Amino acid sequence: MIEYNITSPQSKFIQLTNNEKESSNIIFCLDISGSMYKTYKGDTSRFDFMKSFIKNNLDQINKNNPNCKVGIVTFGEKVEFYGDVDYCYKLNDEEINNERKVIELGKSLLNPIKLNIDKLKNIITKLFSFGKTCLGPSVLISLSSLIKTNKGGRIFILTDGLANNGLGSLKNEEDISINFNKKLGEMAKNNGICINLITFAESESRIELLYEMVKKSKGEIFQMNDFIFSNCFLNNDILTIKTTLNINLHKVLEFKNKNNEYLKNDGSCYNKVIGIIKKDMNPFFEFDFQSPEKILLMNDIDINNLKQLPFQFSIEYFNLKGEKCIRVYNELKNICYDKEEIEKNSDYVIISVFAIQRTSNLLLERKIPELEEKTKEWELFFNKNKDINASSKSNYDIEINKINEIKKNIKEINKSKIINDRILTLNYRLSSNSYINDEKERENLINKNYTRVDTKND
């Protein structure tokens, strides 16, 4: 592997350090609409719980990451933006419906939290809840502010309700709202910004309408239920932003199950802007031989004597200092024609993670007949190979539990004809590459919780 910094006058080998991660940017988008006064636990309202939750985490950020820059955006009947905590900008009725104006009003975050902690907590203390839910403009002004820093960042939306005022409101057509959220997701992806969603269990937030903005930006979905998760905002696991992925296969091979929009050279080259790369992400790709007809036309290839194939993987990206870099990986792989040997030496942890991601994505895409078929295929595959090597044995129970969970989800969806927030949240987390490498973590997520208890350093 070779890595170069390609923005400085002289290219040089570079390596990210912990200090680079300390200059991260966070904006909290906080729902202060009237519905937040509903009871959450005992006599505590959702609103009071949120205020306490945010203030506690501000203290943790200040303690562990004092150079982090933090902004606050509140949304209820109106949107208020606290970029520089000494000044609050309030969007008026015209502005919350004007996309261009909202983008113009976004301001860069100026000061690290160590200089603003008391002012930030005071802002939270003085908040009061009223009115509608003006979610769309609040996310847009947050995006605009982080884009102007040119170093990416993270947005955390805390909400319990439907967007019913301003841009992206459900008072318009549902498709218009979904398309607006997709647009926000694209903006975030292209500028290295991660949008995360935190909702309350049994609230009316309609996660499926917000799902695209979170998915496109590689964000996370959390549901508060019986768990209070801490350190949620401390773990900046973003490694690169504005990332483009390039994979080159030998010309006798082609990609499977990839969008033709990203394929070149008869399917042997894959190029896609993926935005953010996070720690422990596991992007997978499948490939196969080209058709015999195509291979026969390759006069320079003797397929019968082909013993090795080259693979090239490169990424162009910006690191957290704002420097443009490129990494290139080259590897030569031996070809094996013995199916039993391949199965015996396969890493079933990788296969299992891939299976979980594929089935969860099919569920999220509402391809239920295909999901039912693939679930049966994976079940047969893992039952057949459960004792073939150490990784298959150790991974068998986890995968079968996941398959059983998928079966239950299919029954529930076929009965209710909808994908509820619980099912969507669980399967989004399982499909999103991260947080499922650790065996205990995966087992906990699959078997026990429908919420994310984020207490470990990723």
- 205 and 87 fall within a common domain: yes
- Residue 255, beta-bridge partner list: 287
6 within domain boundaries: no
Coil, strand or helix at 388: coil
Q: pLDDT of 344-397, one tens digit each?
A: 888 888 888 888 888 888 888 788 888 889 899 988 988 888 888 888 888 788
Distance CA 277, CA 274 (A): 8
| pTM summary value | 0.77
**Domain count across the chain:** 3
Q: Mean pLDDT for the chain?
A: 79
Cα torsion 408, 414, 417, 421 to 10°: value is: 10
Distance CA 151, CA 101 (A): 22
- 190 and 248 fall within a common domain: no
Q: Which of 304, 335, 366 is the last residue of a domain?
A: 335
Structure tokens at 17: 């350090």
Distance CA 88, CA 190 (A): 28
Confidence grade of residue 202 (pLDDT, cut at 50, 70, 90)? low
Distance CA 127, CA 438 (A): 39
Residues in contact with 382: Cβ distance below 8 Å, sequence separation at least 6, in sequence order: 348, 352, 355, 392, 396, 399, 400, 403
Lowest mean pLDDT among 5-19, 40-54, 276-290, 413-427: 5-19
- Say if residue 456's pLDDT is above 50: no
- Say if residue 142's pLDDT is above 90: yes
- 74 and 146 fall within a common domain: yes
Cα torsion 124, 130, 136, 141 to 10°: value is: -40
Distance CA 101, CA 191 (A): 19
388 within domain boundaries: yes
- Say if residue 439's pLDDT is above 50: no
- Say if residue 409's pLDDT is above 60: yes
Contact 186, 59 (CB under 8 A): no
The predicted model gives 401-406 an average pLDDT of 84
Q: Which of 276, 308, 335 is the last residue of a domain?
A: 335
- Say if residue 84's pLDDT is above 80: no
pLDDT of residue 203: 61
Structural domain of residue 423, as residue ranges? 348-447
Distance CA 358, CA 164 (A): 34
Q: pLDDT of 293-334, one tens digit each?
A: 888 888 888 888 888 999 998 989 888 777 889 989 899 988
310 within domain boundaries: yes
Contact 142, 73 (CB under 8 A): yes
- 229 and 353 fall within a common domain: no
- 83 and 196 fall within a common domain: yes
Residue (of 324, 287, 88) closest to 192 by Cα position: 324
Backbone angles phi, psi at 115, to 5 degrees: -95, -15
- 271 and 401 fall within a common domain: no
Lowest mean pLDDT among 15-19, 272-276, 378-382: 15-19
Per DSSP (E only), the strands in 290-395 are: 308-318, 324-334
- Residue 223, beta-bridge partner list: 199
Contact 130, 34 (CB under 8 A): yes
- 211 and 304 fall within a common domain: no
- 223 and 197 fall within a common domain: yes
- Say if residue 452's pLDDT is above 70: no
